[in-house]
Amino acid sequence: MSVLSKTSALAVIASTFVGSAVYANGDLNLYSSRHYDTDERLYSDFTDATGITINRIEGNADELIARMQAEGANSPVDVFLTVDTVRLARAKSLGLLQSIESDVIEASVPSYLQDDDNQWFGFSQRARILFYDKTDVTNPPKTYQDLANPEYEGKVCIRSSTNVYTQNITAALIAHLGKDAVQDWANGVVNNFARDPQGGDTDQLRGIASGECDIAMSNTYYYARALRKGDSTMTAEDLENIGWVFPNQNDIGAHMNISGGGVAANAPNRENAIKFLEYLASEQAQEYFSAGNDEYPAVPGVGLSPSVAALGIFRPDTIDLSDIAENIDAAVEVLNAAEWE
């Protein structure tokens, strides 16, 4: 079904799982905040391979979590799928997920992309890197810490403090560097804002193209997608003039955001849910994450699509995602103290 609007999501969700059919042996009930049309192939291939029908609800992650809470033990959902560590950690903390054992996932997905209690797993990745205007910036930042350097005052476009990607990178830096050091960093970045934080990742790239800022932070798949499909607001010349840096290649590596999922605490079709997560770790699904949505596979050794491979080889940050999840609250405190809007 189509992606739900924020205002109508709960109403539609409430009316969707009606009748006994959704509890049939051959079904899987999925709540997903992934909003990509290209994922249709993932779902249809799973059904073709297993005969399991997917009943899917797409909506805002926070609303889906709220729905799972309200449904409680009667919830029909089997798998919760979302696009960031923050929401996965929140679902776990609220008791909405359960631990599972899967030799398939353990053998395929690196341990640092798994929750310590096996309640959620990362299945695709996006590197969060730095972009810059090649026509104006002769000395681009080489690390995340460099964004706070005074030489970049008035040059940086970045997302708001309420955005999960901002919270994730801040939490990762706290895990690596400590809260005090990251507070100084956040204060410096705020001082270097070219404008108040606004918009999504593509809007940060458009800020470079328009000349509003010279440096921006974005997930790789937005730029890779623009290279592959074009962007109605940026010309080919605009894209050519945008350079990129994979930060911190001499130490912690480039920060990675994930899409991931877990089995719901009260899943009525638990075995089908595990089969679905195992399928997401398969080579077929992993290749499609890259080919269909310009992401990096979570499973090592899986080939990259040309648009992703064009960005080059880099060293990723392999910090345990559970360490990031544990520092989300501290990250929010740091961002608020810095008055990062």
pLDDT digits (tens, 9 = 90+) for 11-52: 333 333 333 333 334 899 999 998 877 788 899 999 999 999
53 in a structural domain = yes
| 145 and 220 share one domain | yes
At 38 the pLDDT is: 76
The mean pLDDT value for 297-322 works out to 93
Binding site listing for Fe cation: 35, 221-222
Burial class, 141, CB count within 10 angstroms (exposed 0-12 / middle 13-18 / buried 19+): buried
Residue labelled with tokens 């905040």: 33
Q: With CA atoms as reference, report the closest residue to 144 among 112, 174, 180, 113.
A: 174
| 139 and 191 share one domain | yes
Q: Do 223 and 205 touch, CB atoms closer than 8 A?
A: yes
Report in angstroms the alpha-carbon separations of 97 from 28, 89, 120, 189, 286: 16, 10, 8, 36, 23
| 138 and 239 share one domain | yes
| 175 and 210 share one domain | yes
| 106 and 153 share one domain | no
pTM of the predicted structure, to 2 decimals: 0.86
Q: Which domain holds residue 60?
A: 9-125+258-310
- The answer, yes or no, to whether residue 313 has pLDDT greater than 80, is yes
Q: Which helix (H) or strand (E) holds 30?
A: strand 27-32
The mean pLDDT value for 311-332 works out to 94
71 in a structural domain = yes
Count of domains forming the chain: 2
For the segment 154-201, what is each residue's pLDDT rounded down to a tens digit? 999 999 999 999 999 999 999 999 999 999 999 999 999 999 999 999
How far is Cα 98 from Cα 76, in angstroms, rounded to an integer? 14
| 132 and 170 share one domain | yes
1 in a structural domain = no
| 190 and 273 share one domain | no
At 231 the pLDDT is: 85
328 in a structural domain = yes
302 in a structural domain = yes
SS3 state at 218: strand
- The answer, yes or no, to whether residue 8 has pLDDT greater than 70, is no
- The answer, yes or no, to whether residue 5 has pLDDT greater than 60, is no
316 in a structural domain = no
For the segment 208-266, what is each residue's pLDDT rounded down to a tens digit? 999 999 999 999 999 998 888 888 889 999 999 999 999 999 999 999 999 999 999 99
| 237 and 263 share one domain | no
The mean pLDDT value for 111-125 works out to 95
| 190 and 333 share one domain | yes
- The alpha carbon dihedral of 141, 303, 53, 107 has a sign of negative
Q: What band does 295 get if pLDDT is binned at 50, 70 and 90? A: very high
| 213 and 332 share one domain | yes
- The answer, yes or no, to whether residue 2 has pLDDT greater than 50, is no
At 292 the pLDDT is: 85
| 147 and 248 share one domain | yes
For the segment 62-95, what is each residue's pLDDT rounded down to a tens digit? 999 999 999 999 999 999 999 888 899 999 999 9
207 in a structural domain = yes
Q: Do 274 and 103 touch, CB atoms closer than 8 A?
A: no
How far is Cα 297 from Cα 302, in angstroms, rounded to an integer? 7
Binding site listing: 35, 221-222
3 in a structural domain = no
For the segment 101-117, what is each residue's pLDDT rounded down to a tens digit? 999 999 999 999 999 99
| 160 and 41 share one domain | no
CATH of residue 230's domain is 3.40.190.10
